[in-house]
Structures are given as structure tokens and as C-alpha cells.
Chains A and B, each alone.
Chain A
Amino acid sequence: GQSLEQPSEVTAVEGAIVQINCTYQTSGFYGLSWYQQHDGGAPTFLSYNALDGLEETGRFSSFLSRSDSYGYLLLQELQMKDSASYFCARFNQAGTALIFGKGTTLSVSS
């Protein structure tokens, strides 16, 4: 299978750090990507990990461990505007299409 599992909801306060986990089935796995979607808006690309390790882009970082079939998105110095849904995604086996997890809704409070 090619499914992805992530928590449905996460809550945090401004200034905190939050980690959103994603586990995947290993069949035909190329790498893990992350998307952000504000309520009702278009998903936007955040990051991609093809290799093990941490990729950092400003306040956001993404991590992949192929041996554990697991990755996460780390958001630091949380701001109210980070309240959104976050999706992990992977390619299908042919590498021609993106498959998304069901998404994690992050609520940041003051």
C-alpha cells in the first residue's frame, strides 16, 4: 500500500514548537513532502525530503527516517497565522502522481 497516517488535530500556543508526524507504507517510496492549507484555500508546497535527515526552511523543518518509515514537520516559534491544515504527501509507485495523507489541523492560540 501507499497510505500515509498523520494525527487529525494538534493544538499549541503562540511561541511554542509543534511536531506533526507522518508514517507511511514503504512500497514504492521515493520521499516525503509537506503541504500547508489555510481554511478553504489552495494547498501550498512547504518541503520535500528524499533522503534521511533534517531539512530546514526558516521556522519550518522537515525530517525523514526511511528505516522507521516515518517523517515529521517541525514548526518553531509558532504564530497565529500558522493555524492551518498540514498534509504529508508521497508519490505513487510510478512516480507520476502525488498521494496525500488526510491532514493535520493545527490550531495556534494566544
Chain B
Amino acid sequence: EAQVTQNPRYLITVTGKKLTVTCSQNMNHEYMSWYRQDPGLGLRQIYYSMNVEVTDKGDVPEGYKVSRKEKRNFPLILESPSPNQTSLYFCASRSPDRGPEAFFGQGTRLTVV
């Protein structure tokens, strides 16, 4: 089954404790992205990647890091989380051959206290 898998689904952490949210896709897609979703603000892009070792900043990259060492994986790293990073996070992947049809993971609800 074609899917994008994020882990964990839910996470409560404390300010300053480094964390990683994993994202893996099994569709051999070149493009992968991370979004955060906050009430009234829609889906805002954090980082995206066009292929292995190729990443670029989205609209809200501050406080986040990403890496793309393998085509299937695109982890999101919060080196020193802060309460304003409490949000719902989505990973997405797509193929340039399929235009704007992106496949999203089920989301990670992160709370930073």
C-alpha cells in the first residue's frame, strides 16, 4: 500500500529537549516536504526536499532542521524545541510526474511545555 508514515503520532516534550519526527514514504517520490498546521493559519511549509541531499527552506524554517540522506526518509529535527513549536506537523511526498498530487502522512501532534 502506497503511504507516508510519520512517527510518533503524538508527542509531549519539554522545552529544549532535542527531538526528531521521522517520515518515510514507499512510493519512490523525489519530492518531500514538512508542514505545520495551526488554527487559522492553514498549512505552512517548513522545509522541502527535491531529492537526496537537496533541501530548501519553506516559509517558517526557524527552529527546525531536516536531512535527506535516503530517498525514502525525510526526518524533521527540533534541536531546542520551544512552546511556540507546539503544532500539528505533516510530512508529504510527491512525484514531479504527478504534478501537485501530494500524499500526506497522518500527522504528528507535538506539544512543547
Contact = CB atoms under 8 A, between A and B. Distances in A.
Interface in B56-113: 56, 58-59, 88, 90, 92, 94, 99-107
B43 A42 contact: no
A41 B56 contact: no
Given A33-B100, A45-B100, A45-B102, A99 B45 contact: yes
Given A8-B40, A43-B90, A96 B107 contact: no
A102 interface: yes
Kindly state the interface size class of chain A when it binds its partner: 20 to 34
B42 A42 contact: no
Nearest to A46: B101
A40 B40 contact: no
Contacts, number: 63
A76 B107 CA distance: 29
A96 B104 contact: no
A91 interface: yes
A103 B90 CA distance: 15
Given A43-B104, A45-B100, A91-B100, A100 B90 contact: no
Kindly state the interface size class of chain B when it binds its partner: 20 to 34
Interface string B32-68: 0101000011111100101000001011000000000
B33 A98 contact: yes
B42 A100 contact: yes
B101 A97 contact: no
A48 B106 contact: no
A103 B43 CA distance: 8
Contacts of B106: 41-42
A71 interface: no
Given A8-B40, A31-B100, A33-B100, A40 B88 contact: yes
Given A97-B45, A100-B42, A42 B105 contact: yes
12 contacts: A41-B106, A41-B107, A45-B103, A48-B100, A50-B99, A89-B100, A90-B100, A96-B48, A98-B45, A98-B92, A100-B44, A102-B40
